[in-house]
Structure 1
Amino acid sequence: MNITDEGTPVLILNAGGITLGTESRKTMENHDRVEENRNITKALCALMNSGEGKVKAHIKNPDYILSKHGIGEDLETSFKNILPSRPLDFKQYQSYFFICVEKSQSPDVSVGKPATIATNLYMRNGASSVEMNLDAAQKFLEKIKVAGGRSPSARPSDRPGDDTQEEGHIQELAAAFFKQSKLTKKENFLFSESKNVEYKSFETKKLLQRVKEILPRTVSAFANTDGGYLFIGLDEKKQEIVGFEAKNCQPKCLESEIEKCIQQLPVTHFCEEREKIKYKCKFIEVHDSGVVCKYVCALRVERFCCAVFAAEPESWHVEDGGVKRFTIEEWIKLLMT
């Protein structure tokens, strides 16, 4: 990506080549579609955070007509997610596609927020880890700032309902399971996934890769909610203990990678204590006919004092003749101004 000088005062970001059209983009290789989407979305995000101008991209498919073929569902969704309130104007000139961005005159307060591809700030919603949108992230951070941090444990509801009691029961069962020192292969366990519990089987040779993929968002979500348990080696469908073989991933190696991943997660503090993410990782032996055959990885994450990100927010701007990513401190300052 580069800044194009076309002899005008208008800022133009060149996003490279792009395949356009709803049907044409559906037939692309997934890797190519994701890469193109990322390049043009990054340019658009940087332009939105830098005032006004144009994103320019070379159209790869020669028979493309904007008014006839559209731009593509994945691109439309990505563009809207960056900053929903910001109007965009799409234009085609010969074999080039332009996205025109003008300074907004809207009194809507959301216009002042930083255009953002991903907040990378997660919460638990039911049994899922869900990324907060800009509005949710702003409210979450402002609430912590006003309170000067979060208490180590969630405040109990004044009138706990059936759902709250059920969540508490599931968490008690998961806590008891976490304390086990030995498990039996194919034995059933008695708790389901919930706000505080998640489990995966990951019966694959790529166990380490899969764990590294889910860990940042899962830890962020548990830490930003009320803490929770992640178990690796439990079958989600049959609710039975399957474990993972040491030959696919040695427990010590997995423990080291988990520690490294958690230590690298970005955090922001509004409290005086400025504590680190608190967690405990252990490996429970899985026995078959009295012999250790596999392991279950059990991770307990505590509720965090402030906010934990899965990665730095993905938000870009133009600075010193180049496109740069906002630091987490810069992004939070813009979001909360």
Structure 2
Amino acid sequence: MVSKSNFAPVWVETDYPDQVIGVGEVTLGEHCRKKMSDASKRKAEKNTLVQVACALLNSGGGIIVAMSKNKDYNYTKDGIGQDLEQGFGDLVKPSLIQDHFSYLQQGICLLIFVKTWCAGLANNESTKARICSAESHLYKRSGTSAIQIAPTEAAELQKKKKETKKNRDRQEEPPAKRPHLSSSNQNTEIPNPVKLFCSKEYVRLGETLGFGEDMHVELKSYEGKSFRNRLSENLPKYISAFANTDGGFLLIGVNDQTKKVVGCGKDENPNDIQNEVDKAFQKVIHVHSAHCEKQENCKYTLKVINVSGESDAHCGYVLALEIEKFCCVVFSENPDSWKMDGKKIKSLEAREWLQMMTGTDPVIDQLCQGFEKELSMPAAPPQCKPVYGLKGSARLDALQNTLFPVQTAGINGRPETLCTEMFAKYPNLENIMKPEGDRGVLIMSRSWAVDLDQEKNDEVVFDALLISENSPPTLYTVVQEGKPDLWKHARLTAFQLKQNLVNLGGYTGMICIIPKVLECHSGALIPREIRYSDFNLDVCYPDSYGSPDIEALLRSLVIVLLSFRSCLSDQLGCEFLNLLTAEQFDILHSKYYFEDFRKVFVHGLPGTGKTVIAAQLMRKIKITLHCKTEEILYICENKPLRHFME
């Protein structure tokens, strides 16, 4: 068991075939959370849970394990706490909390089950963002305010920036609306109150400005000893807002209500003020679009105006800061958004966040007119790539019906040849793996680990995936005899399959894969001899995980098994996947096994996919026979093709 003291979120080993993140001790339940005397502690617990939930939402889903500090905690009676619920709700807006979160209590542990996020733009749910985020840290001007852009607006902001890039020349805008401090433009622009004020060297304390706040002007006082802190904390927000909108002026040392000069930074040196402003501009994050010609930072001009009081006494300064409109996007700091990076939680940097948020399918042009889209990137979970099939070949639905047909009743075994062979050899397995009164498909493989590009375990006779409508998908690993490490192998294979179904195949429902290990001759279930666990948790999922959408799940499985990286990806500048044809899949999965055949000949005309099959076969040979790369010889007479294969 792990220590019950607080610790940072960590990946924990349990018997669950899933991503499980422990968050240590948390005060749970509305009553107990309201009684917490330390508000910062309450906020820290909420932020940790939101961070982990966001990472799992963006990475295929998983489970959060929180140990209750209050030992009499009862989820059914106490709930989780209004602030925690609000944090989850804000994260998945406009979806409902129950669409993505389920809860189970085991002892003092509360298990929070997190389903993958999906924007679902293909269903016209355009109010959803591509990925989950707590805060974007992107700002824009709205009237007289700087407001944070919702993550759902990031793609629209990027789109508008691209549309107006050709018209970014400032001289095309009305001079009266867009004053400029530069002396080079003074002869071509109409004087205005903002510009006249900013041209002064001195102003009087209490002097009233002849203008107020608007979209291009923000007034702030920043009086008092906290001047530098306020400057450092708040400047990035206003830089982002003006740069992302239309540019403008931030005047510090002026009361925004009375419009009177109050001064600021009385005891500061103007050079130090300039340094603080420079630091703020260095702190903000500039993200250029891929085709932007201006790879430079946001431009600005600072004028430090002296403020004089009675008898010309020094009363501080007014900082007149002009921020120019930026060609692309400026963040005040990196967004509050996370994903899983292996077994660690990774904070997304602004550039990666924007790329994921604005990700789209490749533009169909002459390079890929021969393909048809099967999985759209905006309509899939965050980690998915777009998937295409050859135009004129079987579409995804047809492939699913051909390879994994679902009968109106009973379990359909696929591939038939392997099922017949294995059940004839091990007759005690058939009844256990084909429950009566259910509807679904049993999909056998010599090794599901190999099918998922994982190392083959030589102790495994075969694997069988049972997908039925009234229970969670079950992965049976059939072995000669039970060994302690085989349970770990079965669990990891089930976990990898679940992740692939979501992050590669695009399945968006609540999904888990339950591993079971069977002895091949008796058909008996082999119990876990050693628990690979940091927590003594039984593998139990909420009822919502027990009724999968069979057809949708099988379509995702088709993508998992038939997809390969497209050779056009490099030419188009973005990665996408192609699907094998049913005939190619049959060659790779249904007919030939390396244990039985020493030679395989594949005949076909140019362009029919022989190279694709060769690449897939070599990968399977390497994994199945535990080969090193240098132990596989590939002979190719076509130099461009050889270069691609390398």
| TM-score of Structure 1 vs Structure 2, range by shorter chain | 0.7 to 0.9
SS in 1 for 2:316: strand
Mapping 1:22-101, distance limit 5 Å:
22-28=30-36, 29-84=38-93, 85=95, 87-101=100-114
Distance 1:73 1:197 in 2: 39
What runs of 5+ residues in structure 1 fail to find an aligned partner? 158-164
Q: In proportion to residue count, which structure has more strand?
A: 1
Matched, 1:259 2:278: yes
Give yes or no for contact 2:154–2:354 (8 Å, CA) kept in 1. no
The Cα of 1:261 is off from its aligned counterpart by 1.6
Matched, 1:319 2:341: yes
Distance 1:126 1:68 in 2: 46
The Cα of 1:146 is off from its aligned counterpart by 5.4
2:168 is aligned to 151
Amino acid at match of 1:126: G
TM-score, length of structure 2 as denominator length: 0.47
Residue 18 of structure 1, aligned match among 11, 26, 34: 26
Amino acid at match of 2:144: A
SS in 2 for 1:219: helix
Amino acid at match of 1:133: A
Which deviations, in whole Å up to 9, do the C-alpha atoms of 1:56-97 show, x marking residues without a partner?
212223444334444333323322232323522233333222
Amino acid at match of 1:175: K
TM-score, length of structure 1 as denominator length: 0.87
Q: 1:187 to 1:58 in 2, by over 3 A?
A: same
The Cα of 1:245 is off from its aligned counterpart by 4.1
Q: 1:233 to 1:27 in 2, by over 3 A?
A: farther
Amino acid at match of 1:61: N
Matched, 1:3 2:7: no
Higher RCO (Cα < 8 Å, 6 or more apart): 1
Which deviations, in whole Å up to 9, do the C-alpha atoms of 1:134-178 show, x marking residues without a partner?
221111113334565761449769xxxxxxx9x779x94333322
Give yes or no for contact 1:153–1:226 (8 Å, CA) kept in 2. no
Mapping 1:208-287, distance limit 5 Å:
208-247=228-267, 249-270=268-289, 271-287=292-308
Amino acid at match of 1:308: V
Mapping 1:187-198, distance limit 5 Å:
187-198=207-218
Matched, 1:204 2:224: yes
Give yes or no for contact 1:154–1:226 (8 Å, CA) kept in 2. no
Which deviations, in whole Å up to 9, do the C-alpha atoms of 1:228-271 show, x marking residues without a partner?
11122112333211112432x33322210210120231111122
What runs of 5+ residues in structure 2 fail to find an aligned partner? 1-8, 180-190, 360-646
Distance 1:25 1:58 in 2: 14
Q: 1:58 to 1:114 in 2, by over 3 A?
A: same
Residue 159 of structure 2, aligned match among 136, 142, 151: 142
SS in 2 for 1:234: coil
Matched residues, number: 327
The percentage of counterpart residues that share the same residue type is 31
Larger-Rg structure = 2
**Cα RMSD (Å):** 2.7
SS in 1 for 2:141: strand
The Cα of 1:113 is off from its aligned counterpart by 1.4
Amino acid at match of 2:106: Y
1:335 is aligned to 357
Amino acid at match of 2:257: K
Give yes or no for contact 2:20–2:65 (8 Å, CA) kept in 1. yes
Q: Give the stretch that moved more between structures: 277-286 or 193-202.
A: 193-202
SS in 1 for 2:218: strand
